[in-house]
C-alpha cells in the first residue's frame, strides 16, 4: 500500500482516512484480519503508537473490531462499509463542485464536464 502523508494535518487522521479508503475499496474485505499494528506502522514509516491511534479511531467508527486473541479485523457489517463509501463519495463530489464554483462553473456545467470527459 502506498501511504501519502503530509504535514498539514495530524498523521494519525491521515492514516485512519487512508485505511478507511482501503477498506471501502475492498483491499481488506469484510471480516478480514488486518496486518499487525507494527507491520502497518513499518509499512507507513510511522511510530506504532501513531498507527495504533488511527486503528483505535477505526474501531470507534465501527469499521474494525479488535479481539485480543485474533487481532484486528474489518467489520462484517457491510452497511457500515457502504455508509463510509457513500460519505467519502459525497466529500469528493462536494470538493469537486466547490473547486468548479471557484472557477465560475455552475453545478450543471460542472456535471457536464464530467459527462464529457469520458
Determine contact, residues 73/31, Cβ cutoff 8 Å.
yes
pTM over 0.85: no
Show the domain range for 52.
11-76
Q: What was the pLDDT predicted at 2?
A: 87
Q: What is the pLDDT along the chain (118 residues), one digit of tens a residue?
A: 789 999 999 999 999 999 999 999 999 999 999 999 999 999 999 999 999 999 999 999 999 999 888 889 999 999 999 999 999 999 999 999 999 999 999 999 999 999 998 7
Total number of domains constituting the chain = 2
Q: Are residues 65 and 84 in the same domain?
A: no
Same domain, 47 and 95: no
86-104 b/e with 16+ CB inside 10 Å = b? eeeeeeeeeeeeeebeeee
At residue 67, the pLDDT reads: 85
The C-alpha atoms of residue 39 and residue 46 are separated, in whole angstroms, by 10
Amino acid at each position: 500500500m502506498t501511504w501519502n502523508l503530509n504535514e498539514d494535518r495530524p498523521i494519525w487522521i491521515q492514516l485512519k482516512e487512508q485505511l478507511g479508503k482501503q477498506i471501502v475499496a475492498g483491499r481488506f474485505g469484510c471480516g478480514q484480519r488486518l496486518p499487525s499494528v507494527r507491520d502497518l506502522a513499518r509499512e507507513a514509516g510511522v511510530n506504532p503508537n501513531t498507527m495504533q491511534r488511527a486503528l483505535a479511531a477505526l474501531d470507534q467508527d465501527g469499521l474494525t473490531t479488535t479481539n485480543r486473541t485474533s487481532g484486528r479485523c474489518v467489520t462484517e457489517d457491510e452497511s457500515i462499509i457502504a455508509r463510509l463509501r457513500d460519505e467519502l463519495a459525497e466529500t469528493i463530489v462536494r470538493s469537486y463542485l466547490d473547486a468548479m464554483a471557484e472557477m465560475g462553473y455552475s453545478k450543471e456545467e460542472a456535471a457536464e464536464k464530467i459527462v464529457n470527459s469520458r
